[in-house]
Amino acid sequence: DVKVTQSSRYLVKRTGEKVFLECVQDMDHENMFWYRQDPGLGLRLIYFSYDVKMKEKGDIPEGYSVSREKKERFSLILESASTNQTSMYLCASSFVTGAHSGANVLTFGAGSRLTVL
């Protein structure tokens, strides 16, 4: 089975701290994603990467950056954490399947719950 592993399940940080959320997948997927999950809002895409060193902004990139130096690893960075970034963060990955890429299935990690005080 494909595995997507998020290194931290729970984090508590202070306002202004720099935060790194790490995600690793073990099935050679090209695509990797960072989502934010908030009650009543579903999942919102923060950043997407389709290859090493390649990234695209999602719907809510403000206050976040990402790094993908190796195919299997995709990091989300909060340069200066704020209380409104308290949330559940979900990493996901998928293959690129060509013509019917719209049918791609995402594999998710278990999530990282971040609290910013």
Partner 1 sequence: GDSVTQMEGPVTLSEEAFLTINCTYTATGYPSLFWYVQYPGEGLQLLLKATKADDKGSNKGFEATYRKETTSFHLEKGSVQVSDSAVYFCALNPRSGSARQLTFGSGTQLTVLP
Which residues would be at the binding site for partner 1 (CB under 8 A)? 4, 31, 33, 40-43, 45, 48, 50, 56, 58, 90, 92, 94, 96, 99-111
Give the shortest CB-14-to-partner 1 separation in angstroms: 25
Beta-carbon contacts of residue 44 (< 8 Å; ≥ 6 apart): 35, 36, 37, 38, 58, 59, 60
What's 21-49 look like in SS3?
A: EEEEECCCCCEEEEEEEECCCEEEEEEEE
Q: How far is the CB of 96 from partner 1 (least distance, A)?
A: 7
Phi/psi of residue 86, nearest 5 degrees = -65, 120
Q: Cβ of residue 104: shortest distance to partner 1, in angstroms?
A: 5
Q: Min. distance of Cβ 53 from partner 1 in angstroms?
A: 16
